[in-house]
Each structure stands twice: as structure tokens, then as C-alpha cells.
Amino acid sequence: MLKYIFENIDVKPDYERYASWQANIGQDGVACMMGSFAASPIEHIQRDLLEATDFFYHYNDYSKQMRDLAEGIETVYEKILNTVAKFPAEIVLWGANYDDMITYPRYFEKEILPWLQKASRVLEENGKLMICHTDGENLGLMDLLRNSGMHIAEAVCPYPMMKVRIEDYYRQWSDKITIFGGIPQSVLSEETASEEEFENYIDHFFKAVSPGRRIIVGIADTTPPNAVFDRLRRLGDRVEKEGRLPLEGGALRSVSKTMLKEAAARVSIEVVKDEDFEIIQEDVLRGNHLDIGKHVQELLDKGFKPKDILNRGMLSTMQIIEERFKTGELFIPDVLLSARAMNEALAVLEPHLAEAKKEASGKILIGTVRGDLHDIGKNMVATMLRAVGFNVVDLGINLPVEQFVKKVEELRPEILGMSALLTTTMPEMKKVIDALTTSGLRNGVKVIVGGAPVNEKFARDIGADGYAPDAGSSVDLAKKLLQ
């Protein structure tokens, strides 16, 4: 039914509405035409039709059915592409919000890259430029995005909000792609950057993008409501005074792809095979949720201790997966599939090791603060923590201060984790910590925070016990706090 609907959608251009909008912009900018946020039919399913975790399970388990639905969606995507190609717009947006963990490299190369290249080719043939909204974590996608055919990378968000530094973006992309962005929104807020840190970043930025070809200075992803307006004014002044080409360079040492590979090779961790539990180790590594329960039962029938199956076969392997995830060898789908296999095994083991599970870890509450509906990062942290044995209670999203306090009082966790992806919701974290203090609960619980706009300085300033930049680091932080 869903395939039939997509196959029979009509796409009709609204030239008058676009012309009116273009006229309002006038000489103040270029009216960009919206093509599609999802770059391909499969990514459309991922973005719009399935919850994030369910998508990865379905993509692995029901590949034939997913491919069949994507063929139906492809019909309307062809219509959209042909329509925007004939539009009077000079620039068309096609594709947005890539992330090297969610649209991980092998998935991106197979499912997204061909459509980006196709869209670029069609748009070029019709005298148009293709722009992509590239505000995510792009470290593992740098070469793929470089070769995607996009002409403009918009909302480029570098370190310290993401992992890729501005000098590396410029070195790898500026001969082919115009970089639009480069100023992470976190440096505009007093909560996440001091005056000295702001000035140092802007000094660094002008040196990093020398000689200034293919660069449009912009805030990535957007200017936050709590931005210090004077910082925006000073940034504008410096662009006006120092933005004449060619820019003067500075002594910058960027990190090459060879250096990254060599570093990864030095830290790559191999699984130590345990002969008795090798089949369980392989099941966890491969995400074999269909057979792992049977294999666990076979080991139980042979007299192996449940706690040994858990620790030597499962948790030890998940620790390896955790390390490989942190080094970029594995990605979110790999971890989710392995965690699902773990859950299937635990369903068999649970009656035998209730005590062992209690000994394994502490209790952690995790949730996204009020006003924030994002959950993929929170879900990933919860998955990683559960996978290595923590008792995790996921409170959900958009949680008011009172709900956090109520659950801490009720469940008495060792750790409370809070997530925020929006700068506008970050202040909620401090409100929760203050409320815990007022309620007399703060001394009994460690508080950790995370999310794209959050950093170490912000965590210290609000009185949190720790900050983790990603899911793998969250596991290390939790272990350290409970030592």
C-alpha cells in the first residue's frame, strides 16, 4: 500500500510562490530551492518512516522489503529531481544532516552517495548548483562528501562542537566545495565559551581558511537565542576588515587521513578468543540475535556457569565493541545489532543470574531535558551502557525538572544522565541540578551531561560531575564515577 502511494504521487511546481519569495530577497541573497532533505529513497525511509533504532534493525533483517519500498519512493524522487532541475532557482538543496555514525560510511557509500552524484549531475546539466546541509559529525564521511558532487556544503560545523577541525575541512574540501559555515554556534554563548575562547577561535579560523577561496563565513548550525550579540558584531567587523583575499595564513598542522589510519591501527583492539565461549563471542560481534539464545542454552546444559557466560562470552566482547566504536571502526548499527543479540541472550540467562546482574553494575537514569525532542544520542548512550552491564532506566524526552527529581527520589540511581541537542534547552540541565540540591538529593547521585552543544566548560559551570562527548566516552565516565 505504501509503495503504491509513493508511486502515484504527483509533483507540481509552484512558480508564482517561488518568484514572490525571490523578489522579496532581491539583492540581499540567493533564493535557494528546496529539493529534498533525504538524499535518497532509502534515507527517506530512515528519516521519515521509521524510528531511528527500528530502521537499523529493519535494514538488517528485512532488506528485500526495504528495497522494494525504496523502489516505489524512487518514482517520486525522480519526479522531484526533474521538477527542481527545471525551476528558475540557481541553487537547489538536496540532502541534509549526515552523520558518520547514523549515515555511517559503508551505508552512505551504498545508499546515499549514488543519489547525490545523480542529483548533482542533473542539476549541473540544467545550470544549477547543489547545496547540502552538512551540520553533522562528518569525520568518517570526509572523502565521500568531497566526491558527492555537491557544490556548496552549508552549515559546516567544526571543532569544538564536532570532531573535524576547520583547517581539515578547508584542506580537504576547498578545491572542490564551497564551505558555508565554519563558526560553531557554541563559541557565541557565554555558557559554552569564554571571551578568550571566542577570540582564540576567531583568530584561529582566519589562519585556518587561508587563502580564503571557496569560503562563506557563517554560523553552524544556527545562531542560538542565547548568543552574545556583541560577539556577532565583532565577528562581522573582522570579516569586513580581514576578509579581503587572499587571506594571510598561519602555522597550522592539520591531520591527514594517513595519520588517522596509523593512529587507529595503534589502538585497534582484537577480541581475545575464549575457547569455551567463542560461539557466544561471535554471536555478539555479528549481532546474531536469532541463534545466540540457543547457543547460551547449550552452554547452560553443558554445565557452564551463567555468570561466566555473561562475563567471559558477552560483556568482554561488548567492551571490545565499545572500544571499536570509539575509534570509528564500528558504527551505531553495529552496536545496536550486537546489543540486540545481548538482550536475546540475557532473556535466556536471566532466570539463572539475577544476582550476577545485580552485582554487575550500578543504576543509571537517563533522559532528554524539557523542550528537546531529540533522542538518537540518548538512545545510543543507553544502549552502550546496558551492553556493558549497567542497569539503565530511560526516562524519555522532553522531561520537566520535576520529573527528573521525582525519579531520582523514587529510584535512587547512582548516576543521572541528561542530554540536550539544542542550545535553548541547555539551561534546563542546571535547573535540574539546582532542584536536586534543593530537594536534598544531590549528594546521593552523580550527574553527567552530554549533547552536541554541551562541552566540558558548561558541565563544570552548572555543577555536573562529568561530561561525555559521545556514547563510548559515556561508558568510560560512568565506570570512573562508580569506582
DSSP per-residue string spanning 250-288: ----PPPHHHHHHHHHHH-------GGGHHHHHHHHHT-
Predicted pLDDT at 110: 97
Mean pLDDT score, 157-172: 93
One-letter identity of residue 306: P
Q: What is the pLDDT of residues 275-288, one digit of tens each?
A: 889 999 999 999 99
| Calpha distance 292→436 (Å, rounded) | 42
Which one has a higher pLDDT value, 414 or 29? 414
Q: How many CB atoms lie within 10 A of CB 286?
A: 14
Domains and their CATH numbers in the chain: 2-242 (3.20.20.210), 274-354 (1.10.1240.10), 362-481 (3.40.50.280)
Q: What percentage of the chain reaches a pLDDT higher than 90?
A: 57
Mean pLDDT score, 227-244: 89
Predicted pLDDT at 323: 80
pLDDT classification of 82: cutoffs 50, 70, 90: very high
pLDDT classification of 250: cutoffs 50, 70, 90: low
The helix/strand count (H/E) of the chain reads as 23, 11
Angle between helices 195-208 and 166-173 (to 10 degrees): 20
Predicted pLDDT at 366: 96
Contact 430, 463 (CB under 8 A): yes
Which one has a higher pLDDT value, 457 or 46? 46
Beta carbons within 8 Å of 398's beta carbon, 6+ residues apart? 368, 369, 370, 371, 372, 373
Beta carbons within 8 Å of 242's beta carbon, 6+ residues apart? 206
The answer, yes or no, to whether residue 304 has pLDDT greater than 50, is yes
Predicted pLDDT at 270: 60
Q: What is the pLDDT of residues 26-74, one digit of tens each?
A: 888 888 999 999 999 999 999 999 988 889 999 999 999 999 999 999 9
Q: What is the pLDDT of residues 429-444, one digit of tens each?
A: 999 999 999 999 999 9
Mean pLDDT score, 317-334: 82
Predicted pLDDT at 257: 52
| Calpha distance 317→387 (Å, rounded) | 10
Predicted pLDDT at 265: 52
Residue 14: exposed, middle, or buried by beta-carbon count in 10 A (0-12, 13-18, 19+)? exposed
pTM: 0.79
46: which 3 cell numbers?
A: 530512515
What SS3 state is found at 214? coil
| Calpha distance 463→457 (Å, rounded) | 10
Contact 61, 289 (CB under 8 A): no
One-letter identity of residue 254: S
